[in-house]
């Protein structure tokens, strides 16, 4: 069995670790590119979400590399993600591509169900081996998060952001290659060490919170490198959600009891008082949270037609009215253009700067 | 008399008889927004978020048409009406979206309807609504009973072949009066299954009189409402994975039943531009219908810019093709 899985930012690192530890033979699709997107768009429904299209492109590219099985996440709605795999399976079938789909439906924190559902994956592995594989994948995800958040913090602060990015890529490679926890810790601590001495800029930074649908938040291809553009404009970006949180929630059914996103759900009220699928409620909560923390603005990203994020976006004017935090929303798909995105970001950053100056003058 | 406003939009089409009977029995005056017209649509387009789907924009328009003239607005938070399935994220956030975007909204009756865990029922929902209006327990219980009677009458009429708007009128008649016999099936040569969410296909303005047009082209039109819930559940139960959208399930279950009956010449599926669930359901349906039966399938996507001329052209092309097939 040659098993592949879709890209979502640096997710590939954690999943590769998981599959290797389970004794499987993963086939990593090439990094998502224009070609991937076009391939997905050609065969996917026109109004399906952007991630579904990119996934499909990933599968077809992995197929060319010999993959015969696809590992996909599942879900129970109401967000469309839970039905992606079903649609993708039918599309592949109609294309005459015979790839088997293994869908990881969210287990409800129950190991036995998890193991039976994933029998074809875990094969003869003992419980203990499965547990160890999951734990190791989890540590990898945490290491990735550590690198990414440091990158977001440093990028606007350093004179040579490109140099920083090179060091980051090397650290990421080491995390990917690491075979044990020691290797992971070392990769992270070396990254911190290597970046410490780099010459920095002075001055007050604008701070922006990044919220929205998780795939577009985590995947630089899907969000047209929005974090990077903001960073290079001198803005410190803070994400509302990181890879490890998604993995824990979607693949491991909340097995790891790390502080969840409950505080964001609470912060969403009174603006959004119910679960609306996906992370819509967290988007609103995180916006309130960033406002309370004194952030200058919030950027929301979502796939075009994403329902939970449209609901969230619909109520954001009320958050802005009460908390005075400006927001900017992007709906992304294959037709978005990077030039337009950058122009809107620049205008937003100008606005935030003007607001900050005005507030300083007024002494608030 | 307390005035309760009900927007003629979204799940009005599925639950109006229930809601109307309940509030009337509670002693309230039920005020329904006018049928969709350009002014209502334009008002909706102005106040709803651009990125949302046409039906939700239209809902905003209907709410605005009632704002100012009613004491309460009925906007239940419709999360789920059956176990393990939802309507749509936008229904779940409807009250919040309205509150954030429409100033001077009358108080909302936004009781949550959530049967997803297999618990909860309309009686509880209605009782909570009744308590909001400060009705006494006996009155509420009695109103619940009438409401449920009205709703089952409505359901019965649909399964007997009444088209939903006709049944809505029928249900609006006085209780106890004889139900007229179902209309004759018509004399059309073509049998067409028309699928789509109720709030699209039965809103004459939005659907650009689709049903009437089809009939005048000599087609007999059947909709998913003809198919009983049991058959829908059974048909949709054949899917590899349970579909977790109630409306999508209804479309797919009905389409399968229509395919199996062997009585239909073609299927028309109406979908709103920007509708999330339908972007996947429509796609799956097109593929499955093709594989199962090879019945011709046409997807009509409507948005605020759709024009009647384009619709007529497509309908004519489709019906012509069906007629040629029939001859061939
Ligand atoms: S089901 Fe589709 S059309 Fe209806 S409210 Fe949801 S997204 Fe809009």
Domain annotation covers residue B179: no
Distance, CA of A250 to CA of A195 (rounded, Å) = 33
Which ligand 1 atom sits nearest the alpha carbon of residue A307? 7
Let me know: does A329 contact B63? Beta carbons within 8 Å. Answer: no
Chain centroid to CA A334: how far? 18
My answer on whether B102 and B197 are in the same domain is no
B91 shares its domain with B229: no
Domain for residue B258, yes or no? yes
- 3-state secondary structure string across chain B: CCEEEECCCCCHHHHHHHHHHHHHHCCCEEEECCCCCHHHHHHHHHHCCCCCCHHHHHHHHHHHHHCCCCCEEECCEEEECECCEECCHHHHCHHHHHHHHCCCCCCEECCEEECCCCCCCHHHHHHHHHHHCCCCHHHHHHHHHHHHHHHHHHHHHHHCCCCHHHHHHHHHCCCCCCCCCCCCCCCCCEEEEEEECHHHHCCCCCCCCHHHHHHHCCEEEEEHHHCCHHHHHHHHCCCCCCCCEHHHHHHHHHHHHHHHHCCCCEEEEEEECCCHHHHHHHHHHHHHHHHHCCCCEEEEEECCCCCHHHHHHHHHHHHHHHHHHHHC
Are B141 and B243 members of one domain? Answer: no
Are both B143 and B217 inside the same structural domain? no
In chain A, which residues have their Cβ closer than 8 Å to the Cβ of B79?
274-275
Question: One digit per residue, pLDDT tens: chain B, 328 residues?
Answer: 999 999 999 999 999 999 999 999 999 999 999 999 999 999 999 999 999 999 999 999 999 999 999 999 999 999 999 999 999 999 999 999 999 999 999 999 999 999 999 889 999 999 999 999 887 999 999 999 999 999 999 998 888 888 898 888 764 444 434 445 444 445 568 999 999 999 999 999 999 999 999 999 889 999 999 899 999 999 999 999 999 999 999 999 999 999 999 899 999 999 999 899 999 999 999 999 988 777 999 999 998 888 889 999 999 999 999 999 877 7
Residues B142 and B217 in one domain: no
The answer to the question of residue B182 being in a domain is no
Looking at chain A from residue 200 to 219, which residues have their Cβ under 8 Å from any Cβ of chain B? Answer: none
- The 10s digit of each residue's pLDDT in A319-349 is 999 999 999 999 999 999 999 999 999 999 9
The alpha carbon of B88 and the centre of ligand 1 are apart by a number of angstroms equal to 6
Ligand 1 centre from B239 Cα, in Å? 22
So what's the pLDDT on residue A114?
63
| Lookup result for tokens 């009250």 | B95
Residue A242's pLDDT band, with cuts at 50, 70 and 90, is: confident
Which H helix or E strand runs over A207?
Answer: strand A206-212
- Within-domain flag for B235: yes
Q: Alpha helix locations (H) across A178-259? A: 181-196, 214-218, 226-232, 243-250
Asked if the C-beta of B93 comes within 8 angstroms of chain A's C-beta atoms, the answer is yes
**Under a CB-based contact definition with an 8 Å cutoff, are residues B224 and B254 in contact?**
yes
Preceding omega of B235 cis (within 30 degrees of 0) = no
Q: Are residues B117 and B67 in the same domain?
A: yes
Q: Determine the distance separating the centroid of ligand 1 and the alpha carbon of B278, expressed in angstroms.
A: 8
Cα dihedral A218, A222, A223, A228, rounded to 10, equals 70
pLDDT at position A163 over 80: yes
Count of structural domains within chain B: 2
CB contact at 8 A, B289 and B268: no
Give the closest residue to A57 by CA, choosing from A103, A91, A17. Answer: A91
Report whether B60 contacts B101 (CB < 8 A).
yes
Q: Which of A73-82, A101-110, A176-185, B251-260 has the lowest mean pLDDT?
A: A101-110
pLDDT for the residue numbered B189 = 84
Interface of A with B in 253-282 (CB under 8 A): 271-278, 280
The token pair at B99 is 């509150």
**Which of B128, B146, B164 delimits the end of a domain?**
B164
Give the one of A82, A103, A273 whose C-beta lies nearest to B244's C-beta.
Answer: A82
Tell me: do B154 and B13 sit in the same domain: yes
The pLDDT of residue B178 is 45
Residue A53: which H helix or E strand, with range? helix A50-64
Measured over the CA atoms of residue A309, residue A310, residue A311 and residue A314, the dihedral's sign is: positive
Residue A106 DSSP label:
P
- Mark whether B101 and B220 lie in a shared domain: no
User: What does the alpha-carbon distance between residue A249 and residue B30 come to, in Å, rounded to a whole number?
Assistant: 45
What is the predicted pLDDT for the residue at A115?
A: 64
Largest CA distance in chain A: 68
Mean pLDDT of A168-182: 97
Q: Which residue carries 């650290």 as its tokens?
A: A171
Q: Could you say which of B147, B164, B181 is where a domain stops?
A: B164
**Partner-chain residue, chosen from B85, B90, B100, that has the shortest CB–CB distance to A271:** B100
Answer for the pair B158, B225: CB distance below 8 angstroms, yes or no.
Answer: yes
**B223 in a domain, yes or no?**
yes
Q: Is residue B145 a part of any domain in this protein?
A: yes
Under 8 Å between Cβ of B127 and B136: no
Q: What is the pLDDT of residues A42-72, one digit of tens each?
A: 999 999 999 999 999 999 999 999 999 999 9
Residue-level pLDDT at B156: 86
Is residue B104 within 8 Å of B43, Cβ to Cβ? Answer: no
- Asked if B5 contacts B74 with a C-beta cutoff of 8 angstroms, the reply is yes
Residues B88 and B227 in one domain: no
Residues B159 and B213 in one domain: no
Provide the token pair at A147: 């690198």
Nearest CA in chain A to B284: A87
What mean pLDDT comes out for the span A202-221? 95
Nearby residues of B99 by Cβ (< 8 Å), 6 or more positions away: A315, A318, B105, B108
* Residue of A102, A140, A137 lying closest to A121 (CA atoms): A102
Cα–Cα distances (Å) from A63 to A67, A68, A153, B21, B232, in that order, read 5, 7, 38, 58, 36
- Give chain B's end-to-end CA distance (angstroms, integer): 63
**CATH classification of the domain holding B27:** 3.40.50.11890
Does A290 score more than 90 pLDDT?
yes
- Mean of the pLDDT values across residues A76-88? 94
Which residue among A307, A308, A309 has the greatest number of ligand 1 atoms within 8 angstroms of its CB, and so is best to mutate?
A307
Kindly state the average pLDDT of the residues A253-270.
Answer: 78
Question: Which CATH number belongs to the domain containing residue B321 in this structure?
Answer: 3.40.50.11900
Lowest mean pLDDT segment, chosen from A35-39, A58-62, A243-247, B178-182:
B178-182
Q: Which residues contact B70 (CB under 8 A, 6 or more apart)?
A: B3, B4, B5, B31, B106
Q: What pLDDT sits at residue B318? A: 96
Percentage, residues of chain A above pLDDT 90: 79
CB count within 10 Å of CB B210 equals 24
- A314 → closest Cβ in B86, B100, B282: B100
Residues 6 or more apart in contact with residue B164 via CB below 8 angstroms = B13, B158, B198, B202, B223, B225
**Mean pLDDT of all residues in A119-139:** 85
Higher pLDDT, B174 or A294: A294
Whether residue B92 is found in the same domain as residue B154: yes
**B41 and B159 together in one domain:** yes
Other Cβ atoms less than 10 A from the Cβ of A38: the count is 12
Please give the distance of CA B256 from its chain centroid, rounded to a whole number: 19
Domain span at B149? 3-164
Chain A residue at shortest CA distance from B281: A87
Query: Which atom of ligand 1 lies nearest, measured to the CA of B200?
Result: 3
Question: Atom 2 in ligand 1: which residue has the minimum CA distance?
Answer: B275
* pLDDT value for A252: 74
The CA distance from A30 to A287, in Å, is 34
Minimum-distance ligand 1 atom for the alpha carbon of B245: 1
Which of B48, B272, B276 should we substitute to test contact with A (largest number of A Cβ atoms within 10 Å)?
A: B276
Considering the domain boundaries, does residue B278 fall inside one?
yes
């Amino acid at each position: 069995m040659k098993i592949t899985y879709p890209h979502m930012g640096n997710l590939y690192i954690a999943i590769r670790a998981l599959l290797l530890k389970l004794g499987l033979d993963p086939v990593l699709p090439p990094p998502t590119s224009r070609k991937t997107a076009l391939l997905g768009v050609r065969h996917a429904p026109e109004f399906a979400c952007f991630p579904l299209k990119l996934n499909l492109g990933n599968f077809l590219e992995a197929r060319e590399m010999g993959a015969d099985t696809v590992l996909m996440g599942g879900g129970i709605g109401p967000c469309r993600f839970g039905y992606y795999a079903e649609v993708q399976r039918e599309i592949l079938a109609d294309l005459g591509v015979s790839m088997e789909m293994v869908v990881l439906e969210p287990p409800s924190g129950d190991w036995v169900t998890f193991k039976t559902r994933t029998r074809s994956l875990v094969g003869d592995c003992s419980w203990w081996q499965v547990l160890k594989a999951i734990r190791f994948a989890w540590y990898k995800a945490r290491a990735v998060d550590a690198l990414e958040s440091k990158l977001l913090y440093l990028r606007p602060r350093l004179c040579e952001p490109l140099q920083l990015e090179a060091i980051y890529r090397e650290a990421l490679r080491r995390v990917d290659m690491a075979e044990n926890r020691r290797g992971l810790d070392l990769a992270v601590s070396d990254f911190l060490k290597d970046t410490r001495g780099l010459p920095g800029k002075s001055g007050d930074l604008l701070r922006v919170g990044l919220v929205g649908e998780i795939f577009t938040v985590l995947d630089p291809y899907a969000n047209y490198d929005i974090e990077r553009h903001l960073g290079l404009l001198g803005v410190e970006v803070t994400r509302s959600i990181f890879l490890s949180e998604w993995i824990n929630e979607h693949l491991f059914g909340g097995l790891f009891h790390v502080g969840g996103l409950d505080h964001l759900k609470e912060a969403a009220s009174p603006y959004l008082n119910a679960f609306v699928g996906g992370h819509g409620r967290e988007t609103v909560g995180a916006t309130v949270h960033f406002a309370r923390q004194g952030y200058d603005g919030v950027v929301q990203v979502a796939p075009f037609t994403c329902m939970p994020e449209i609901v969230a976006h619909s109520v954001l004017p009320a958050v802005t009215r009460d908390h005075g935090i400006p927001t900017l929303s992007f709906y992304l798909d294959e037709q978005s253009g990077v030039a337009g995105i950058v122009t809107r970001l620049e205008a937003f950053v100008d606005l935030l700067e003007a607001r900050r100056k005005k507030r300083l003058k007024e002494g608030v | 008399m307390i005035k309760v406003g009900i927007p003629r939009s979204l799940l009005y089409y599925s639950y109006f008889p229930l809601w109307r009977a309940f509030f009337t029995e509670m002693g309230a005056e039920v005020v329904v927004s006018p049928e969709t017209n350009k002014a209502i649509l334009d008002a909706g387009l102005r106040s709803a978020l651009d990125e949302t789907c046409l039906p939700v924009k239209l809902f905003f328009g209907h709410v605005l048409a009632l704002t100012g003239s009613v004491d309460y607005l009925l906007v239940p938070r419709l999360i789920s009406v059956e176990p393990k399935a939802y309507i749509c994220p936008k229904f779940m956030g409807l009250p919040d979206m309205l509150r954030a975007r429409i100033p001077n909204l009358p108080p909302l009756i936004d009781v949550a309807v959530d049967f997803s865990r297999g618990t909860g029922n309309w009686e509880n929902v209605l009782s909570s609504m009744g308590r909001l209006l400060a009705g006494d327990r006996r009155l509420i219980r009695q109103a619940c009973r009438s409401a449920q009677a009205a709703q089952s009458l409505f359901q019965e009429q649909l399964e007997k072949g009444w088209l939903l708007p006709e049944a809505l009128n029928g249900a609006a008649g006085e209780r106890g009066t004889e139900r007229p016999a179902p209309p004759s099936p018509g004399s059309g040569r073509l049998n067409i299954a028309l699928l789509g969410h109720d709030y699209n296909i039965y809103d004459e303005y939005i659907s650009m009189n689709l049903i009437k047009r089809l009939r005048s082209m000599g087609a007999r039109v059947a909709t998913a409402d003809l198919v009983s819930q049991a058959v829908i559940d059974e048909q949709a139960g054949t899917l590899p994975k349970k579909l977790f959208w109630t409306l999508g399930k209804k479309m797919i279950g009905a389409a399968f039943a229509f395919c199996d009956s062997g009585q239909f010449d073609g299927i028309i599926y109406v979908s709103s531009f920007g509708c999330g669930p339908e972007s996947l359901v429509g796609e799956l349906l097109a593929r499955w219908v093709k594989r199962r039966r090879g019945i011709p399938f046409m997807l009509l996507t409507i948005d605020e810019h759709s024009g009647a001329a384009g619709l007529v052209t497509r309908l004519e092309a489709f019906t012509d093709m069906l007629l040629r097939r029939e001859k061939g």
